[in-house]
């Protein structure tokens, strides 16, 4: 049970056990399985987003100093302007609260809207073919909710990465507990306040806290664990899940490369790289471009274009820009400055590098020609630093990428069809985007997830429903057509016929029935 310690409620293993039992009892009651319950919860999430848009944006500002536009577009409002063709020269001051609230789509609400529209279809059993081996029979695949699931979300997109998996778990008919990240305390507190108000608190629970609370939850038996974060904690989650053979989804990260060919519109390419890097939480995003690889001939032109566009977007003093998020906390700030201050790296800064420790701000920083054995090239950067590596020919970039772990995303800018094909064949990544960055995240018909050390499992759209669902195989038969060939005593004739039935070949079966060898 939750105990009191110096006036504060403590969530321990015993409390986690009680919570787990409550969720299992709620699931066993059968109410979460119904179509009506699922739809009502999804509609309530939409209502929650509509009624508390300003509160959510304010929490994101407190946690990360996120620009209003980023909060609305990437976590709340996914306006159609976010697609190709949006003029990112538009300044923050041009987007008022009234304009953003009139946006037509949302990342979370769009997930809900899609699920509400498609849920009946998703829930319907899928017909499956049968063969002569089981004749007469019919078969289907039934989508069955897993049970009680645990969702542990991340701090960098604390609303989106909490609610998006929750939508999938609800659509699939599960009971669940959400553990928001303690590194985004304002967002965590708001979720803990809003979710019980709008959703069924007997089947959907929120647990706030840090490491001890997460460990208490991981001590319990769950029917699935969905974790978003880094690989170090991902290994801890997977080890805890192994105790009960619990399946896991791990949404991790990695060093997502950008390969830039020479035969491109360099201005468009650099704008799209910038918005995928610094326009997504100032580089604190799992699919953020981590480093660029280009040819030696193209590097100078690329750097010049990046400098020009960065100044156009964020001004001459980006530390004062309202359009850049701050670093989440002092620990991450120290980690990033350590990457920059390494002896073999500090002399390679060609743009930016300014810092303000008091405000936890680091300016967009470009580094050219950093050694591959430097710290900045060994770990995921997850911040506003962007190294550029050079190669003699662009195809050499494949070897550099493949020398590391498989990334969550990989990006290529080129007009060369052959190079596109080579890239797709040679580079293994969770997702690939050609001539843009990060856009695959917004395509609900695509699975979003990693491969290898960048994660396992996928979600978004129907893939979210599927990841929280067991696909149960069902075969229907009547009492007619009962063949004695299945039953003892076994004979050579029965063996011959059984072999023929297993092949499913009509001619072979006829030969066996007639006794022909």
3-state secondary structure 142-210: EEEECCEEEEECCCCCCCHHHHHHHHHHHHCCCEEEEECCCCCHHHHHHHHHHHHHHCCCCCEEECCCC
Please give the Cα distance from 256 to 276 (Å, whole number). 11
Determine whether 280 is an active site residue: no
* Separation CA 311–CA 432 (nearest Å): 28
Contact 147, 174 (CB under 8 A): yes
* Residue among 53, 75, 213, 251 flagged as catalytic: 251
Binning the chain into helix, strand and coil, the percentages to the nearest 5 are: 45, 15, 35
Asked if residue 465 lies in contact with residue 143, where contact means CB atoms within 8 angstroms, the answer is yes
Name the token pair of 349: 């800064």
What is the Cα–Cα distance from 422 to 169, expressed in whole angstroms?
Answer: 37
CB 36 within 8 A of CB 157: no
Catalytic residue (choose from 49, 280, 286, 298): 286
Verify whether residue 112 is a known catalytic residue.
Answer: no
The residues, any chain, with a CB within 8 Å of residue 27's CB and separated by 6 or more, are 145, 147, 148, 174, 175, 203
First-last CA distance in the chain: 70
Question: How far apart, in whole angstroms, are the C-alpha atoms of residue 376 and residue 255?
Answer: 10
Q: Which residues are catalytic?
A: 251, 286
């Amino acid at each position: 049970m939750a105990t009191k310690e110096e006036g504060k409620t403590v969530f321990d293993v015993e409390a986690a056990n009680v919570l787990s039992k409550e969720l299992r009892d709620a699931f066993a009651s059968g109410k979460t399985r119904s179509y009506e319950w699922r739809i009502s919860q999804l509609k309530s999430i939409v209502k929650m987003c509509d009624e508390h848009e300003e509160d959510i944006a304010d929490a994101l500002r407190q946690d990360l100093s996120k620009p209003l536009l980023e909060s609305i577009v990437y976590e709340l409002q996914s306006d159609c302007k976010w697609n190709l063709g949006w003029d990112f020269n538009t300044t923050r001051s041009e987007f008022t609260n009234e304009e953003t609230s009139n946006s037509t789509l949302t990342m979370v609400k769009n997930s809900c809207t899609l699920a509400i529209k498609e849920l009946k279809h998703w829930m319907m059993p899928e017909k499956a073919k049968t063969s002569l081996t089981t004749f007469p029979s019919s078969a289907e695949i039934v989508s069955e909710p897993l049970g009680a699931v645990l969702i542990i979300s991340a701090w960098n997109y604390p609303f989106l990465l909490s609610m998006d998996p929750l939508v999938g778990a609800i659509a699939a008919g599960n009971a669940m507990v959400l553990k928001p990240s303690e590194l985004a305390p304002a967002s965590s507190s708001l979720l803990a306040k809003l979710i019980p108000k709008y959703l069924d608190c007997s089947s959907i629970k929120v647990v706030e806290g840090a490491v001890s609370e997460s460990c208490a939850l991981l001590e319990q038996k769950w029917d699935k664990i969905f974790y978003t974060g880094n690989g170090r904690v991902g290994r801890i989650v997977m080890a805890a899940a192994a105790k009960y053979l619990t399946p896991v989804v791990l949404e991790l990260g990695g060093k997502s490369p950008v390969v830039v060919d020479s035969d491109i519109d360099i201005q468009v390419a650099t704008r799209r790289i910038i918005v995928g890097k610094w326009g997504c939480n100032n580089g604190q995003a799992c699919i953020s471009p981590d480093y660029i690889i280009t040819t030696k001939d193209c590097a100078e032109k690329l750097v010049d274009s990046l400098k020009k566009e960065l100044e156009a977007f964020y001004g001459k003093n980006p530390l004062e820009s309202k359009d850049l998020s701050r670093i989440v906390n002092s620990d991450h700030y120290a980690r990033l400055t350590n990457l920059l201050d390494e002896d073999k790296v500090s002399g390679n800064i060609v743009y930016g590098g300014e810092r303000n420790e008091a405000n936890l701000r680091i300016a967009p920083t470009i580094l050219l020609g950093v050694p591959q054995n430097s710290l900045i090239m060994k770990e995921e950067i997850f911040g506003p630093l962007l190294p550029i590596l050079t190669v003699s020919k662009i195809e050499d970039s494949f070897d550099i990428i493949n020398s590391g772990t498989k990334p969550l995303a990989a990006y290529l800018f080129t007009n060369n069809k052959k190079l596109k094909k080579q890239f797709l064949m040679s580079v293994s990544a969770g997702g690939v985007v050609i001539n843009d960055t990060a856009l695959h995240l917004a395509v609900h018909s695509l699975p979003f997830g990693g491969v290898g050390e960048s994660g396992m499992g996928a979600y978004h759209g129907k893939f979210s429903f599927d990841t929280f669902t067991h696909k149960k195989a069902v075969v229907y038969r009547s009492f007619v057509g009962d063949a004695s060939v299945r039953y003892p005593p076994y004979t050579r004739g029965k063996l011959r016929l059984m072999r023929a039935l297993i092949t499913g070949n009509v001619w072979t079966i006829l030969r066996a029935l007639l006794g022909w060898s």
